[in-house]
């Protein structure tokens, strides 16, 4: 079994993102309701966050609730929002103990008032922490993010704040939800699905992708270490040749 101690401390992914998939199917396999899977998925979030802190990951972004997830049954959506609020309250002490700063991206205004207030409170109380930045993608969709960025830039062009010929990657980055985050180095998706599902489409342009055939509630230290070791064994060329890198 892979252990955190097996990871080389050099060449770690600075920014790791995870599509936490498979809660519902995990519960169904056990003859339980989908809610049971989400409840156990929360436990996996806790252990994964703590393990990433131990490993030395600087930025961790979790795909927590997508814009498409609003289309799920009302009871499931309400349960997910309830779990979000209760988890934030429970984990505040752990965040501060581990020097974790909480961040969020997405259309947060679409969340219930209670969830918005809890998020704001925990982000305020962890705002001065200097360790890992944990970002929850909530009511998030990459296409919506890009659409919002384009509208903001267009308004500034119209008002002569930005000149069209000056629009570059930096300006686009500065209008995204992730403007204060580096690009993703490693993207992990659980459950065996091999798709991105509208997650950080701009930010993963050069990310290493790692898909694992394990439902999220079963994702553990061994799987996390395996993903990072796999990343460390890859050659990231960014369009260059191997000879140029050496």
Give the residue numbers annotated as catalytic, written as ranges. Answer: 21, 69
Nearest C-alpha neighbor of 102 from the set 85, 79, 78, 119: 119
Residue 13 tokens read as 């992914």
Instruction: Enumerate the β-bridge partners of residue 209.
Output: 187
Residue 167 tokens read as 């629009």
> Going by C-beta distance under 8 Å and a sequence separation of 6 or more, which residues neighbour residue 126?
92, 95, 96, 100, 101, 102
Residue 77 tokens read as 């959506």
The CA distance from 174 to 152, in Å, is: 10
**Are the beta carbons of 13 and 231 closer than 8 angstroms?**
yes
């Amino acid at each position: 079994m892979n252990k955190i101690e097996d990871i080389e401390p050099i060449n770690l992914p600075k920014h790791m993102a995870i599509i936490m998939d498979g809660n519902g199917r995990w519960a169904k396999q056990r003859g339980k309701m989908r809610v049971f899977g989400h409840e156990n998925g929360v436990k996996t979030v806790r252990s994964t966050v703590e393990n990433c802190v131990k490993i030395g990951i600087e930025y961790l972004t979790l795909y927590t609730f997508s814009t498409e997830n609003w289309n799920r049954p009302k009871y499931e959506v309400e349960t997910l929002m309830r779990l979000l609020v209760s988890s934030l309250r429970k984990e505040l002490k752990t965040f501060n103990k581990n020097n974790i700063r909480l961040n969020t991206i997405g259309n947060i205004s679409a969340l219930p008032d209670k969830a918005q207030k809890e998020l704001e409170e925990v982000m305020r109380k962890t705002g001065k922490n200097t360790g890992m930045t944990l970002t929850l993608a909530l009511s998030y969709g990459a296409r919506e993010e890009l659409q919002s960025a384009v509208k903001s830039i267009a308004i500034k062009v119209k008002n002569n704040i930005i000149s069209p010929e000056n629009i570059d990657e930096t300006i686009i980055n500065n209008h995204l939800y992730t403007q204060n985050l580096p690009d993703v180095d490693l993207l992990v998706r659980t459950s065996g699905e091999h798709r991105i599902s509208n997650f950080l489409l701009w930010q993963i342009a050069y990310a290493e992708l790692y898909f694992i055939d394990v439902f999220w509630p079963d994702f553990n230290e061994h799987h996390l270490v395996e993903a990072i070791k796999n990343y460390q064994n890859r050659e990231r060329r960014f369009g260059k040749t191997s000879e140029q890198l050496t």
